[in-house]
Chains A and B, each alone.
Chain A
Amino acid sequence: MLAAASCWFACGLSGEVDFNRDIRPILSDNCFKCHGPDERTREAEMRLDTRAGLFGDLGGGYFPIVPGKPDHSEIIWRISADDEDDRMPPIDSGNTLSEREKQLIRRWVEEGADWKKHWSFEPVRRPELPEVSDADWCRNGIDYFVLARLNAEGLKPAPEADRATLIRRLSLDLIGLPPTPAEVDAFLKDRSPNAYEKLVDRLLDSPRYGETMALPWLDAARYADTDGYQNDGPRYMWRWRDWVIDAYNQNKPFDQFTIEQLAGDLLPNPTLDQIIATGFNRNHRYNSEAGLVFEEFLLENAVDRVDTTSTVWMGLTMGCARCHDHKYDPISTKEYYQLLAYFNNVPESGRARKFGNSEPLVVAPTEDQSAELAAKDEALHRTEMRLAAAEYRIDYDQKRWESTAAVRASEGKLLGRGMTAAYGFDGKDEGISAAKGQPWFGSGRFGTAATFDGESRFSLDEKYHFAAEERFSLSFWVKPDAVREGVILSNQKDRIQKKGIVAKLDGGKVQFFIISSWIAGVAAIETEQKIQPGDWRHVTLVNEGLMSANGMKIYLDGEIAQTRQLYNSISNLNPGAKDGLFQIGGSNHEANFKGKVDELRIYHRSLWEDEIAILVEALPVREIARRPPSRRSASARNKIRSYFLENVAAEPIKTLAEDVFSLRVDRREYHDSLPTTMVMREMVPRKETFVRKRGVYHQLGERVERKLPEVFPQPKEGLSADRLGFARWLVSGKHPLTGRVAVNRYWLKYFGKGLVKTAEDFGLQGDWPSHPKLLDWLADEFVRLDWDIKAMQKLIVTSATYRQSSRVLRETLERDPENLLYARGLRQRLSAHTLRDQALAVSGLLEGRIGGASVKPYQPDKLWENLSNMEYVQSQGEDLYRRSLYTHWKRTLPPPTMAILDAADRENCRVSPQRTNTPLQALTTLNEKIFVEAARNLGQRILLQGGNSMADQIEFAFRSVAARYPTDKELALLTDAYGQYRKAFAGDEEAARQLIAVGESEPDPTLAPIALAAATTLANTLLNLDEVLTKE
């Protein structure tokens, strides 16, 4: 219907009927549901979406369409039938054809029924510039197409907007902020012929340009700071967000921009930045509910990627084909799942973490952080070198010590740094009690060992807590008896949730579990290798604190073991909160262990491999000392050296050795603190993909392979069947949609709507372009300019079309209320983000730092607390005044100011922005804290910089927000208003003090409260003027 709207005044019933523009939308909207691509619902075997279907023989001499012969065409008879039973569309479909639509179809048949493929699936062909009445008006190609159309409609373009309006429009469009009065003056003064172009170049070079361009991209990419379901916990994708800003500022060409975001990880030797870029397809919502079924959300994740990618690059509503063949576009369900196969091969669990990023992810230091990390590496390296340089001295000292009696001391302090506890099970009182049966101390690996008969177990008196998100290590010797299963150690308590950590044997394999709740929150691995009964083996379990089976390791005799993941579903923080006493030899509710356990060490840090090797060395230190160095194994040498350095060495060696350790820890702690970001990655082997019947996750249909929909030109040989091949196919320059869809969104940014109004749908149900040739010309130009994004922005904003005044003339409003023909400039309320940023900018509050973690500006009290289980911890200081694109976006409770002012909700991909006009918006810009605080800060500027007279101050204020000078009438009105505000506060200084105290910035103490409150009120009035809320 929108297609009809866009041509109702333009094409009327005279002139030639164009199948794509006039006829297909009618058929699509009214007929395709039952006579379209979907085989399952096709009625009467009649198919009207293909040439063969429309013109083929229906049997018995019936043809849907006979070109030139309406009276022989079944369709014409059907749509005109008087009898309800014969008439199409049928009454119960809810569709009816208007007289005009019926006539159009008839005329089309009369004129020969010329049929074309759907326009947007045809290749882009560069059109010639059309003839125009006034070539002088045209500044570039755009204007020829616009003017030709205006000529055809008998309309004239509007005059160019005045300079103050132009600079404000350009600034708001290109950098998202208004110009300062000084910038306006400079532009007004610049009489050079290329003053406008210079201004455009200055703005395009501003780093604010990248921020401004990023915003619509973030909406399309459904970027947010939380996972979007239920508890809606935080995630950290700002490294990706900053990549986008940077890419725009660097003017990364659109093809590269595309390839890196869709498939940066698959590029040869990808850089960290290219991997970060793939976060585009991890920005979707991701459910963390404990009860969910993994397969269901693995499918939802992939579906979101397909739908978003299709919308953003192809303007296609692929999602319709998830459950059935697309009703309108030639995309079958099978093709949908063939495309989905490119996007579902990600090593992800199916359930998001409740807090933080979900796998797959990368550690993604910023440039500064990388430098800091390198500095720490360097410091560690330097200290290690100093220690190495002292080798001779250490050797000397160690030899002397080895020859003394001190060496016979115990080894208690071997690797004692960061150790929580050690148990030798040597029968002494070590804080061990029998928990069940009668465990005893039998002969051990060293001294005696804890010995179990399968019915007994010890417990440790001390409680130790472990958390999946924290590093810890457990090391011990174990010797199973003939029965090779059972729990070696565990700190589980309750039987149902089974919280805690467990080490056990299962058929000889060593298993390591971290459990937050069974089975919804479990990370577990097991060794491929089996350990044999009767053998002493050394086992070290390491958790790297990643809350993931990917961060768990098992070492057997100091070698990292090949392991297999049994579960990887931990999503809660601190699963150890309710764990119980540590039990050795069994747990409360699983098979107990039969055999021996010795030398248990507990660390609340992860041991390094070289340390584990030392623990594995069986010879005690005193034994090693007895052997000549030449007969010591490498691990024995390391062990005694480690012991010596830690316990014996004198200064300065002792301190040096301690420094190496602490620098090592420090480096790791710093690494642990670095931001991570979620990225795409491929699984090997590749996951199988099945058609899902009716789109339901567990209703598997046919198995399918990756393949691109047939309606499009297929990729050339040599493109891989993966995301990289897919991305390259999109930006090959031959894809009919990529360029059109991209330039249409650029157009939308400046003109408020696309040349195709349905920016999200270029399919059969989408709108017919208002200027098809202009669209193709722009799409071709984009490719011709090697996908130069800045060049395209410049092309658009330097057109005469863009530079028109937005004054609404009666004639053009009547003829073209929606401004589909562009006989005037766009006049539109500013976006939510721009409104807030403008207030920050004109008041001087704006903190201009680019990038970094998201911030939490003012929000009404208890907004989160009342609806969610999370506390909103407001940012402090300058973080209150960052640009709005850095505001923390909680999907289920978006920042209210933004939501009220129509910002996209970031739940799904959105490419068509909304602008409404509501009383809640008025209340927001009148009363919300930041708007009031900005008014006061602008008020301060008015008093300090605006001159002495009221008129000067008003003029200063007005120019700050509107760029132009006020008219006499406006000045008079505002002077009167300002006087009233002063009077109002003159009698109530307390009220003045209250008003200027709003917000956390301090009011200027040199200004009188009454004067400042009046100026604040004036600024509040100005910030709410329609013109100020609007881009003109």
Chain B
Amino acid sequence: MNPLRPNRDIPPKLSHGCCGYQQLSANPLTMTRRYFLGKAARGLGGVALASLLNENLFAAPARNNGLPGFPNFAPKAKRVIYLFQSGGPPQMDLFDYKPFLDKVHGREVPESVFNGQRLTGMTAGQSSFPVARSIFKFERVGESGTWLNTEVMPHLAEVMDEVCLIKSMHTEAINHDPAITFFQTGFQIAGRPSIGSWLSYGLGSTNENLPAFVAMTSFSGGQPLYDRLWGPGFLPSRHQGVKFGGGPDPVLYLNNPEGMSSELRRKTLDHIAAMNRMKFDDYGDPEIETRISQYEMAFRMQTSVPELVDVSSEPDSTFDLYGKDAKKPGTYANNCLLARRLTERGVRFVQLFHRGWDTHNGLPNQLKRQCGHTDQATAGLIKDLKRRDMLDETLVIWGGEFGRTVYCQNALTPTNYGRDHHPRCFTLFLAGGGVKPGMSFGETDDYSYNIVKDPVSVHDLHATILHLLGIDHKKLTYKFQGRHYRLTDVHGKVVKPLLA
């Protein structure tokens, strides 16, 4: 016999039955959290303490409770569905109606309008900057009489009275990556937490079986997307948005390997838990308990997520609202429907990214395609939330990372034109969640080139979103590299006129 080998009676006998595996050990060390809260809190601010707890001691409590003192005041919105239109939708072809452009169509944009604005490297070398009017039909819709391109957005037309248009958005970035990173994190350079991660960190989750922040994408083609758009930056990584996909694995690695049944998986999890509990009894590391609970949550997700993404139980009326595409995983319409199902289940921040809005050329056809994919579902989501009495507490946001130029990029023909990136003004809309319905805010000049009234910066938008969620944007901070960072950096004002 190997002298190194411990003496042991063979065969071994079980000292307790399998049925006992699930029982949680009553180790006295579980007191640490309460202990720490009591003793340590004296020297520390509440915010600091919570982050310390999360990061260093109890890496991830089973339930993400957010920061103490948050929300700071009664929220109007409890959750957010952000419909990000990636690529930069053309404001003057959708919302920012400019009949004046008919008069100057084909003429050079006057220097007084450019006013020193920088152009992208793609058109800076163009020798001519002719105005391209929108070829689409605009109509006044709803009680509010809001102008809208009803040709490509007939469904949105039906809910414009719920919508609060901001025609005076502006941004600092002129290229996709910095611009979308700016919208998502409040900073153009990668490295900071995304807006949903900030909310997960500040407000926590309300559903033990689902993350606080879910991201979904649709349409392949157009500008790429990046994991950082739903990334946690320097926040603890558990605040990252969990990406739900359209395939057989709606969450990565959710499915057991081929050949391993759910029953067998349950058995292995029981064995893992029982072994871990023995380890905990011996070693006393509270992290082991956390591990046990995380494995349990993983198992619960294996049930809750497929149930969530399975829309077959939805009645026909649902698909009347969202369109038939909503049955097809990976489509914008399906994602909109999932967004509703996720928010119903308490997910705090759902963000959809739809690609393909980067209309440098062939804009008319591209715009028809984009709206064909999105218009009905966007409107359907708003209607659906409304009929479920969820709209009041759900903030819906629709918008891209910048707008597009009034001057034509590439060939200008009677039926075709393209537009370059335009950061100086563009349109974004909000609905529900405590914003004024049926209003338009801000104005642009005749060329939809400069803002003439009520500019709203990205930081202002962020401050306003946080405000609607009951958060003072100056208070939601995280210390990193010696600095207290916040989503709005050192800027941002709540846009009060938008609030209901």
Residues of A within 8 A of B (CB): 1-2, 4-5, 8-9, 94, 96, 98, 100, 185, 188-189, 228-232, 285, 287, 289-294, 300, 311, 317, 319-320, 327-329, 351, 496, 517-520, 569, 758, 760-761, 763-766, 806-810, 813-814, 817-818, 827, 829, 860-862, 865-870, 891-894, 896, 899-900, 902, 905, 907-908, 914-924, 926-929, 932, 949, 951, 965, 967-977, 980-981, 984, 988, 990-998, 1013, 1017, 1020-1021, 1024-1027, 1029-1030, 1032
Chain B's interface size range is 35 or more
Selected from A764, A808, A972, the residue in CB contact (under 8 A) with B14 is: A972
A519-B124 CB under 8 A given contacts A230-B224, A1026-B279: yes
Does the CB pair A984–B252 fall under 8 Å? Answer: no
Taken together as a complex, chains A and B put the C-alpha atoms of A653 and B217 apart, in Å, by 66
Question: What chain B residues lie within 8 Å of A8 (beta carbons)?
Answer: 40, 42-44
Check: B207 CB closer than 8 A to any chain A CB.
Answer: no
Taken together as a complex, chains A and B put the C-alpha atoms of A317 and B249 apart, in Å, by 41
Selected from B124, B174, B252, B267, the residue in CB contact (under 8 A) with A896 is: B252
Query: In the complex, what's the smallest C-beta–C-beta distance from A733 to chain B, in angstroms?
Result: 26
Beta-carbon contacts under 8 Å, B180-214 to A: 189-191
- Closest chain B residue to A1014, Cβ basis: B264
Does the CB pair B238–A918 fall under 8 Å? Answer: yes
Question: What chain B residues lie within 8 Å of A976 (beta carbons)?
Answer: 14, 18
Taken together as a complex, chains A and B put the C-alpha atoms of A990 and B258 apart, in Å, by 10
Does the CB pair B259–A905 fall under 8 Å? Answer: no
**Number of inter-chain CB pairs below 8 Å:** 331
Does the CB pair B271–A977 fall under 8 Å? Answer: yes
Taken together as a complex, chains A and B put the C-alpha atoms of A758 and B40 apart, in Å, by 19
Question: What chain A residues lie within 8 Å of B32 (beta carbons)?
Answer: 813-814, 817
Check: B298 CB closer than 8 A to any chain A CB.
Answer: yes
Selected from B57, B227, B298, the residue in CB contact (under 8 A) with A919 is: B298
Question: What chain A residues lie within 8 Å of B265 (beta carbons)?
Answer: 926
Taken together as a complex, chains A and B put the C-alpha atoms of A517 and B125 apart, in Å, by 9
A866-B43 CB under 8 A given contacts A763-B482, A997-B258: no
Contact with A along B10-30 (1 / 0, CB 8 A): 111111001000000000110
Selected from A231, A817, A900, A992, the residue in CB contact (under 8 A) with B57 is: A817
Does the CB pair A922–B479 fall under 8 Å? Answer: no
Taken together as a complex, chains A and B put the C-alpha atoms of A827 and B57 apart, in Å, by 12
Query: In the complex, what's the smallest C-beta–C-beta distance from A224 to chain B, in angstroms?
Result: 12
Selected from B36, B59, B123, B249, the residue in CB contact (under 8 A) with A917 is: B59
A230-B258 CB under 8 A given contacts A291-B120, A765-B482, A907-B191: no
Beta-carbon contacts under 8 Å, B478-500 to A: 479, 481-483
A970-B221 CB under 8 A given contacts A810-B284, A996-B259, A1021-B268: no
Taken together as a complex, chains A and B put the C-alpha atoms of A965 and B1 apart, in Å, by 14
Taken together as a complex, chains A and B put the C-alpha atoms of A27 and B233 apart, in Å, by 28
Check: B294 CB closer than 8 A to any chain A CB.
Answer: yes
Query: In the complex, what's the smallest C-beta–C-beta distance from A708 to chain B, in angstroms?
Result: 21
Selected from B5, B55, B177, the residue in CB contact (under 8 A) with A229 is: B177
Query: In the complex, what's the smallest C-beta–C-beta distance from A646 to chain B, in angstroms?
Result: 44
Does the CB pair A817–B36 fall under 8 Å? Answer: yes
Interface centre among A292, A320, A870, A1026 (most CB of B within 10 A): A1026
Does the CB pair B253–A927 fall under 8 Å? Answer: yes
Does the CB pair A328–B271 fall under 8 Å? Answer: no
Q: Knowing that A94-B474, A1025-B276 are A-B contacts, what are 14 other residue pairs whose CB atoms are under 8 Å apart, sorted by A's residue number? A: A5-B44, A293-B174, A320-B482, A519-B124, A758-B481, A758-B482, A865-B220, A867-B226, A918-B237, A927-B254, A927-B255, A927-B257, A994-B259, A1020-B268
A814-B421 CB under 8 A given contacts A5-B40, A916-B60, A923-B251: no
Does the CB pair A808–B227 fall under 8 Å? Answer: no
A520-B283 CB under 8 A given contacts A998-B258, A1013-B259: no
Query: In the complex, what's the smallest C-beta–C-beta distance from B441 to chain A, in angstroms?
Result: 27
Check: B318 CB closer than 8 A to any chain A CB.
Answer: no
Does the CB pair A975–B12 fall under 8 Å? Answer: yes
Question: What chain A residues lie within 8 Å of B482 (beta carbons)?
Answer: 317, 320, 328-329, 758, 761, 763-766
Selected from B121, B224, B267, B475, the residue in CB contact (under 8 A) with A293 is: B121
Taken together as a complex, chains A and B put the C-alpha atoms of A22 and B275 apart, in Å, by 44
Query: In the complex, what's the smallest C-beta–C-beta distance from A444 to chain B, in angstroms?
Result: 36
Question: What chain A residues lie within 8 Å of B292 (beta carbons)?
Answer: 1026
Contact with A along B261-275 (1 / 0, CB 8 A): 101110110011011
Taken together as a complex, chains A and B put the C-alpha atoms of A765 and B480 apart, in Å, by 9
Does the CB pair A951–B279 fall under 8 Å? Answer: no
Does the CB pair B225–A1026 fall under 8 Å? Answer: no
Check: B282 CB closer than 8 A to any chain A CB.
Answer: yes
Question: What chain B residues lie within 8 Å of A809 (beta carbons)?
Answer: 284
Query: In the complex, what's the smallest C-beta–C-beta distance from B6 to chain A, in angstroms?
Result: 5
Question: What chain A residues lie within 8 Å of B294 (beta carbons)?
Answer: 917-919, 921-922
Query: In the complex, what's the smallest C-beta–C-beta distance from B73 to chain A, in angstroms?
Result: 15
- Closest chain B residue to A808, Cβ basis: B284
Query: In the complex, what's the smallest C-beta–C-beta distance from A925 to chain B, in angstroms?
Result: 9
Question: What chain B residues lie within 8 Å of A319 (beta carbons)?
Answer: 481
* Top 6 A-B residue pairs of the complex, sorted by shortest distance between their CB atoms: A765-B482, A291-B120, A995-B259, A994-B259, A519-B125, A892-B226
Query: In the complex, what's the smallest C-beta–C-beta distance from A228 to chain B, in angstroms?
Result: 7
Query: In the complex, what's the smallest C-beta–C-beta distance from A1012 to chain B, in angstroms?
Result: 11
Question: What chain B residues lie within 8 Å of A808 (beta carbons)?
Answer: 29, 283-286
Contact with A along B393-422 (1 / 0, CB 8 A): 000000000000000001100000000110
Query: In the complex, what's the smallest C-beta–C-beta distance from A945 to chain B, in angstroms?
Result: 15
A765-B483 CB under 8 A given contacts A894-B227, A1025-B272: yes
Taken together as a complex, chains A and B put the C-alpha atoms of A965 and B10 apart, in Å, by 14
Selected from A905, A908, A920, the residue in CB contact (under 8 A) with B252 is: A920
A292-B272 CB under 8 A given contacts A320-B483, A496-B126: no
Taken together as a complex, chains A and B put the C-alpha atoms of A94 and B118 apart, in Å, by 38
Query: In the complex, what's the smallest C-beta–C-beta distance from B233 to chain A, in angstroms?
Result: 9
Does the CB pair A829–B287 fall under 8 Å? Answer: yes
Taken together as a complex, chains A and B put the C-alpha atoms of A933 and B32 apart, in Å, by 38
A1025-B57 CB under 8 A given contacts A520-B121, A927-B254: no
Interface centre among B32, B120, B253 (most CB of A within 10 A): B253
Interface centre among A189, A892, A997 (most CB of B within 10 A): A892
- Closest chain B residue to A164, Cβ basis: B4
Taken together as a complex, chains A and B put the C-alpha atoms of A818 and B39 apart, in Å, by 14
Question: What chain B residues lie within 8 Å of A918 (beta carbons)?
Answer: 60, 237-238, 294
Check: B247 CB closer than 8 A to any chain A CB.
Answer: yes
Query: In the complex, what's the smallest C-beta–C-beta distance from A328 to chain B, in angstroms?
Result: 6
Contact with A along B288-322 (1 / 0, CB 8 A): 10111011011001100000000000000000000
Query: In the complex, what's the smallest C-beta–C-beta distance from B42 to chain A, in angstroms?
Result: 7
Check: B112 CB closer than 8 A to any chain A CB.
Answer: no
Contact with A along B111-139 (1 / 0, CB 8 A): 00000001011111110000000000000
Does the CB pair B190–A228 fall under 8 Å? Answer: yes
